[in-house]
Amino acid sequence: MAFSTPRTWSTGEIVTAALMNVHVRDNFNGVFDSAHSFTALQTFDAKLALNFADGSGDPSIEFKQGGTATYVMGIDDAVSSGTADLFKIHSGTSLIDASDLVLSKAGVLTLNTGGLSVNNSGGISINMGSGTGTIQEFRNSGFTGDFSNVAATDIFGRFNIRHSGGGFVVEGFNDGWGGALDFRGHSDATDADNTDTTGSDAVNYMAAYEDNGSNSRQAVASGNIFIVRNASVARLLVKEDGELHLGNTTTVALDDWDDVHLLRAYTNDTADPASVIRSKYDDWVRYNHDDLVEAGIIGRVTEDMPEGTEGLWNVSQHIKLLNGAVWQGYTRQMEIEERLAVTEKKLMALEESNA
């Protein structure tokens, strides 16, 4: 039943059953009774209308501003991408493929879409158009950040596009020290992998690929697959073949330590005693755990730290220690060779004088 424009009643006019049926009963039935329907645009006022067929022939509700459809929402029963019966909201007069919001019957929510992804079978797809900034933000009214020149103070996380060529940036903001970005993986220990091979699995892992036509493949020879930066400065780099490159600005050497003794102290401090084969020279080692901490080989643990906290092994400092041990061994070898050369000359002179 079609909706009629309500009658404007006049003072003293006699209200009849026929008039009430047309302007009250029938209009209510036309709007609310599913047994009745309408076949054309039904405008209630300047801001709202029901439309059996929008510009694309789909049932919709129009929200108007100034008499013109500003937003339209409804069911798109046939779209060019081949997916039918999509609920859409769009800023315009028609439900089109590039609507601002699309919800499919499979549960896929797409925002500002240019069409559904072929690999998205259920989830959220966000299309930021040609934008180059933030695509999603996470806010909390109880959080106040200290990065007002970088992000709004109530933003604790966001997703960005890295540049116009793509790339995905994940940012976390913390009003304190540590834990600004925290990745955690939870895995069933029943099938734990404790192997040490190129095919090993782990609770958390990252994989690097590069394009191969329209497909992906592993990185080419000498390619960089992982970098850790301090702001814009690389401090750790992993090559595709597993080579590890470290950037270290610490220029302090360990030349004032007896590096071989310090290395032996590290073994004595960290290894299972049953696996250490001791000799009489171990009694000459004058360093212990405290010296390893002082030299920066092992991290310092203070009394205010939780029970069970252990100092970590400083690999970079240990490499310097190894370099120092080799050099100290070389200098001692050269000193011995010099002494032997002097001794040989004295022996040769003695032999000549006795000849």
Is residue 290 located within the same domain as residue 247? no
User: What are the tokens at 276?
Assistant: 């250490």
- DSSP-H helix ranges across the chain: 17-20, 26-32, 259-270, 289-294, 315-354
Residue 53 lies in a domain: no
**Computed from CA positions of residues 21, 22, 27, 33, in that sequence, does the dihedral angle turn out positive or negative?**
positive
Using DSSP's 3-state secondary structure scheme, residue 342 falls into helix
Which class for 311: exposed (0-12), middle (13-18), buried (19 or more C-beta within 10 A)?
A: middle
**Contact (CB, 8 A) for 184 and 177:** no
- 270 Cβ contact partners less than 8 Å away, ≥ 6 residues apart: 313
Same domain, 296 and 340: yes
Same domain membership, residue 350 and residue 311: yes
* Residue range of the domain that includes 238: 221-251
SS (H, E, C) 6-37: CCCCCCCCCCCHHHHHHHHHHHHHHHHCCCCC
Q: How many domains does the chain have?
A: 3
**CA 338/CA 346 separation, integer angstroms:** 13
Contact 226, 242 (CB under 8 A): no
Tens of pLDDT along the chain (355 residues) come to 566 788 888 998 998 999 888 888 888 876 665 444 455 566 666 666 666 555 556 777 777 766 666 777 887 765 545 556 678 887 777 776 666 777 777 666 777 655 555 565 556 777 777 778 888 899 998 999 888 899 999 999 999 999 888 899 999 999 888 889 999 999 988 889 989 998 999 999 999 999 888 888 988 888 999 999 988 899 899 999 999 998 876 667 788 899 999 999 999 999 999 999 999 999 999 999 999 999 999 999 999 999 999 999 999 899 999 999 999 999 999 999 999 999 999 999 888 888 7
On whether both 281 and 339 belong to a single domain, the answer is yes
**Residue 87, in any domain of the structure:** no
